[in-house]
Amino acid sequence: MKKVERINIIMRYINNRAHFTISEIMREFNISRSTAIRDIREIEAMGMPLVAEVGRDGGYFVMNNSVLPTVRFTDNEIKALFIAFMATRNQQLPYLKSRQSLAEKLLGLISENQQDDLVVLNQILLFEGTNPHNPDLLDLSDLPHPMLEKLIQILLTDSYLLVSIKEEKVIKSYPVYLLHLYREKSLWQIEGFDLEEEKRRIIPVDNLVDVEPYPAKKRTSKKKILEKLNKQEESINLVVELGPKAIAQFKKYHPVRISISYTNPYQTTAILKTCIHVDNSEELTEMTNWLLFLGGDIKVREMPEELLEGLQERLFLYCP
């Protein structure tokens, strides 16, 4: 954790307590005594009114009616926040309903000159998915699935879930240990370990009907889950070398679970290694389309026969 970030967190930690000691700060933030004392002195210098108590059990407390120092943004920080809002306003992100009040509070903190700069940025910048006829910072037209925020709220305290989803008009429930919650192709997905079938499972958030914590007495320990996942690690059956043009395409889009390793210091060549489930027709089709999307600047070292046949079939259709 960087020093500035740590000091900000410590300020909030001590502001919410009637009394604290150096030892508590050391334990809470895993820092040495000298670092804790130095941080407390910097916080005092920033204007937080701390009163030291002398004695064996002495410590510090914050004077009554004290508040944290006012947060101030630089011009570049304001532009960074504004552009981040602009770039994500039409994406299905959680807590979108809070963005309007958040934006209004931020705008109320800045000067008229800074507001004028944001007006200009709003006029000249357009991002993917933005409606050019309504480039409004506070536009909340693309709300995420209503279960997404409930899911995240539970995940903040518990990774063991009982998820209920709708499959072909039938409600099914799966007990899972969440590994990742990710967004791919504008869809949110749950990657979890199925506690009953003991295998990795992908669940679309759009199919969620309900989610709740899984009963503690039925849970498998995290250690055992990770051990089983390690034993189930699939062997790599797709190895591809990428040139600069293919790397550029990779950066435009790639499946979440796939990564590349650069093979020279200039990042102009790379290698891709992954496992393709040849018994999954949907995955085969997706990988066929994606490899064609990468273009001709690739060299195949290893590839499943089923995937090769799919590529040859597609290429034949293009060049009869």
- The average pLDDT across 204-224 equals 92
β-strand 187-194 against 170-184: which pairing, if any?
antiparallel
**How far is it, in rounded angstroms, from Cα 171 to Cα 293?**
36
Is residue 306 pLDDT above 50, yes or no? yes
Is residue 18 pLDDT above 80, yes or no? no
**How far is it, in rounded angstroms, from Cα 207 to Cα 215?**
22
Residue 180 phi/psi, 5° resolution?
Answer: -150, 150
* Residue that wins the pLDDT comparison between 137 and 107: 107
Residue 62 phi/psi, 5° resolution?
Answer: -90, 135
Cα 45 to Cα 69, 97, 298: the distances in Å are 11, 38, 58
**How far is it, in rounded angstroms, from Cα 113 to Cα 78?**
12
- How remote is the C-alpha of 263 from its chain's centroid? 27
> Strand, helix or coil at 282?
helix
Is residue 31 pLDDT above 60, yes or no? yes
**How far is it, in rounded angstroms, from Cα 304 to Cα 313?**
14
Is residue 136 pLDDT above 70, yes or no? no
**How far is it, in rounded angstroms, from Cα 264 to Cα 268?**
7
Q: What percent of the chain has pLDDT over 90?
A: 34
pLDDT by residue (tens digit) across 161-200? 999 998 878 899 999 999 999 988 778 999 999 999 998 8
pLDDT at 129: 67
pLDDT by residue (tens digit) across 91-133? 778 887 777 777 777 777 788 888 899 888 888 888 876 666 6
pLDDT at 138: 46
Is residue 65 pLDDT above 70, yes or no? no
Is residue 247 pLDDT above 70, yes or no? yes
pLDDT band at 58 (very low <50, low <70, confident <90, very high): low
pLDDT by residue (tens digit) across 34-53? 898 888 888 887 777 787 77
pLDDT at 89: 74
Cα 266 to Cα 41, 97, 249, 269, 305: the distances in Å are 45, 43, 17, 8, 33
pLDDT band at 158 (very low <50, low <70, confident <90, very high): very high
Do residues 192 and 161 touch, judged by C-beta distance below 8 A? yes
* 258 C-beta neighbours (distance < 10 Å), count: 14
**How far is it, in rounded angstroms, from Cα 120 to Cα 125?**
9
* Residue that wins the pLDDT comparison between 79 and 142: 79
